[in-house]
Structure 1
């Protein structure tokens, strides 16, 4: 029997990547699908959507329209993920050729969805925390593991709590079992995922041993074969001294950390309902830098939040100067449906927002060029995990710089010392020593 072909497009964050892996595993094992890169030959086309950035709804319908044009006769089209969660059955009205809609907290129902005409499941509090998904990983070198689902924060700009529901932690025994299985299959790096990973352990579906994020990190680092542990995203509010001490001292925890600032001004942070002040954020960043001099700190920043004054924006510039982030994801504020901030007075004109974003990004690029120039001649331990164009092989240093050398697939899965000869803003080029 010819196997059925599955094409999947994943938009958005690492959690979406993991959700896609879970759906692929279910469809392979229970429905006999195999993956294809060629949409035109697929029997089933899935788009796993993100609703965090601007205009995801328009983007969704233009993508789905393109899929319909390129699909073969009889192919099914499913819309999954966060935009599916908040639009639900509305999607059928605008795109009647879509076969099913599956929200972000409902991906364990994928086989039911494929077999049920016009299936819709968008319950944001459906509990998948103890569902045993099959094994599928897009990389043999890295294992993404969900440690929690949903988010209890009430950030006024963010749609995620409305698409992924309240926060529930995955039981530690399931996480440890999944990590041990990955290690047995040769995976050396774990990548832990959650909207707020360091809120881990606050709420489980049923009775489980009490454990916080720091304790979970300790337990995972005891697994033989695991050499590196990364995680995203922690919340600055919950970066207590216990967590920072473990981050600094545990030799398996990679020395890079994502600290989403959002704004450097305490009043704006209060309007955003972030729960911390400018001073708290700086204190946590300075503490981490003092304990781990080689750390890389990345961040997210929103400029032109409703009501943000010029001097409040300058507070964000001040935090940039003081922390000197190794990586920054920055955006103009855009109103999201279902969020409080969309109704706030003081929405900022686009030209002011654009000017602030340009100023922030230009200054960050200058800082980045100084950071990058300092890497010349340094030797990093690089875990190689991807082939690049023109005979390149790339991997990450322990503190998350992307490093590329000339080589071929025999380097993949190995950790080797690399001296940086030509540092560039996005990639450090070097050679194995």
Structure 2
């Protein structure tokens, strides 16, 4: 039996797909195939955050139904599955089952139940031990919590992934240890609000917070690098930022979602912090780690955003000088509080797009300026890819600060080497190996 899976959206979805694949391989005997036409089971792991998710979903279902072999099953998983549930099967008779984002552990049972729908956002699989692989990649994803308790006005995640529950420490440590034993050198911790870890467990558990979890993971011999996404600005205490700064295993790159620089818009978004708090945390972080790499998310054109609000966002961008910026025009999502506002506070699309263009244009220049400052600096780079052609040989990987670095020589994947930056092209860094 062969499995074809398409994964849309964030790293959480990627990790869910990894769990689904391993469960089906270990317990149902499936093998993964990149060829849709030969698959016996076709899965779409959906994202509800991306624009027009329903349109994308039914377009994909139609394509798969037209090109699948006779008798092959189609299953819809993920956040859009959670949001739409039975409606998916009503709209598309080609779909054999629907599995919500909070119900991943049910994959091996639902494939045997025609037209089944499992989308319970209160279902708890935080203590479920998923099947694992005997061989790991050099980089791996590791869930530390599921769900989200925040009430951000624009976000559908609490509706699709349910309440926030932390995964027990012992399960996290066991999984991390297995990954390292099988070759992993860098682990990316996943959660909707990772630095809120420990706020709630579904079974009795000793008190621990995210800072404590980082310390525990750092004790694993052979684990060389720890990353995490996404922390929430509201939970960036001094103790957390101190641990980030002083722990040598924690990579010095961090994603700190801003969303808006306007206090008025932040309040409407229900983000729980102000521009002043955000900049205070950035200042404390840069004081402790001057070379830190910072990425962020920004929404432009949120309902009620005036020119003055957007200028406040630009003010923060100029102050922080983010290394990476994910920016979007606001798009309403059903089951979010801002969706119910309708057009009352909406920003005209042409104005929102103009603001987005201005933001992205300015950030592109900031990134180029930041890149030029890297000349002559030394970074530790984990090699993730290499390529040999008749014209060139190069390897590439991510620095400790999460910058992509290219090296014009062949280096084994998984190796960590010291690289001095010798050239910058646009925002791309080129370096030479000092030692391995």
2:139 pairs with 1:142: yes
Which residue of structure 2 aligns with residue 56 of structure 1? Answer: 53
8 Å CA contact 2:261–2:313 kept in 1: the answer is yes
After TM superposition, the structure 1 stretch with the greater mean CA deviation from structure 2, 312-321 or 183-192, is 183-192
2:388 pairs with 1:400: no
Q: Go from structure 1 to structure 2 and tell me whether the alpha carbon gap of 1:315 and 1:274 turns closer, same or farther (over 3 Å shift).
A: same
Structure 1 CA distance for aligned equivalents of residues 24 and 130 of structure 2: 11
Alignment of 1:96-245 (within 5 A): 96-136=93-133, 140-245=137-242
8 Å CA contact 2:380–2:418 kept in 1: the answer is yes
SS in structure 1 at match of 2:102: coil
1:288 is displaced (CA, Å) by: 0.5
Which residue of structure 2 aligns with residue 373 of structure 1? Answer: 372
8 Å CA contact 1:233–1:259 kept in 2: the answer is yes
Structure 1 CA distance for aligned equivalents of residues 18 and 398 of structure 2: 22
Q: Go from structure 1 to structure 2 and tell me whether the alpha carbon gap of 1:163 and 1:186 turns closer, same or farther (over 3 Å shift).
A: same
Which residue of structure 2 aligns with residue 26 of structure 1? Answer: 23
Structure 2 CA distance for aligned equivalents of residues 432 and 64 of structure 1: 47
- Any stretches of 5+ residues in structure 2 without a counterpart? none
1:100 is displaced (CA, Å) by: 0.7
Structure 1 CA distance for aligned equivalents of residues 202 and 111 of structure 2: 27
8 Å CA contact 2:134–2:182 kept in 1: the answer is no
1:386 is displaced (CA, Å) by: 2.6
Residue correspondences, number:
429
Structure 1 CA distance for aligned equivalents of residues 153 and 103 of structure 2: 25
Q: Go from structure 1 to structure 2 and tell me whether the alpha carbon gap of 1:193 and 1:426 turns closer, same or farther (over 3 Å shift).
A: farther
Structure 2 CA distance for aligned equivalents of residues 370 and 426 of structure 1: 8
Which residue of structure 2 aligns with residue 429 of structure 1? Answer: 430
SS in structure 2 at match of 1:106: helix
8 Å CA contact 1:84–1:104 kept in 2: the answer is yes
2:414 pairs with 1:413: yes
Which residue of structure 2 aligns with residue 297 of structure 1? Answer: 294
1:158 is displaced (CA, Å) by: 0.3
8 Å CA contact 2:136–2:182 kept in 1: the answer is no
User: What is the TM-score when the length of structure 1 is the normalising length?
Assistant: 0.96
CA deviation profile, 1:366-425 (whole Å, cap 9, x unmatched) = 1011001122233221111234585443211111111122445x5111101223233244
8 Å CA contact 2:386–2:396 kept in 1: the answer is yes
CA deviation profile, 1:308-359 (whole Å, cap 9, x unmatched) = 1100110000000000000000000010010111122311110000000001
Match of 1:7 among 4, 25, 32: 4
8 Å CA contact 2:136–2:179 kept in 1: the answer is no
After TM superposition, the structure 1 stretch with the greater mean CA deviation from structure 2, 420-429 or 200-209, is 420-429
User: What is the TM-score when the length of structure 2 is the normalising length?
Assistant: 0.96
Match of 2:328 among 319, 331, 339: 331
1:137 is displaced (CA, Å) by: 8.8
Structure 2 CA distance for aligned equivalents of residues 70 and 405 of structure 1: 41
- Any stretches of 5+ residues in structure 1 without a counterpart? none
CA deviation profile, 1:14-52 (whole Å, cap 9, x unmatched) = 010110010011000110001111111111111100001
1:185 is displaced (CA, Å) by: 1.2
Q: Go from structure 1 to structure 2 and tell me whether the alpha carbon gap of 1:278 and 1:36 turns closer, same or farther (over 3 Å shift).
A: same
Structure 2 CA distance for aligned equivalents of residues 389 and 23 of structure 1: 34
8 Å CA contact 2:37–2:68 kept in 1: the answer is yes
Structure 2 CA distance for aligned equivalents of residues 244 and 297 of structure 1: 13
Q: Go from structure 1 to structure 2 and tell me whether the alpha carbon gap of 1:119 and 1:392 turns closer, same or farther (over 3 Å shift).
A: farther
8 Å CA contact 2:147–2:164 kept in 1: the answer is yes
1:113 is displaced (CA, Å) by: 1.3
8 Å CA contact 2:367–2:427 kept in 1: the answer is no
CA deviation profile, 1:71-105 (whole Å, cap 9, x unmatched) = 11211111100000001111112221111100000
Which residue of structure 2 aligns with residue 37 of structure 1? Answer: 34
SS in structure 2 at match of 1:105: helix
8 Å CA contact 2:195–2:235 kept in 1: the answer is yes
SS in structure 2 at match of 1:254: coil
1:138 is displaced (CA, Å) by: 9.3
SS in structure 2 at match of 1:411: coil
Q: Go from structure 1 to structure 2 and tell me whether the alpha carbon gap of 1:7 and 1:387 turns closer, same or farther (over 3 Å shift).
A: farther
2:345 pairs with 1:346: yes
Structure 1 CA distance for aligned equivalents of residues 267 and 20 of structure 2: 38
8 Å CA contact 2:368–2:427 kept in 1: the answer is no
- For the aligned residue pairs, the C-alpha RMSD in angstroms reads 1.4
8 Å CA contact 1:256–1:398 kept in 2: the answer is yes
Structure 1 CA distance for aligned equivalents of residues 422 and 301 of structure 2: 39
Which residue of structure 2 aligns with residue 67 of structure 1? Answer: 64
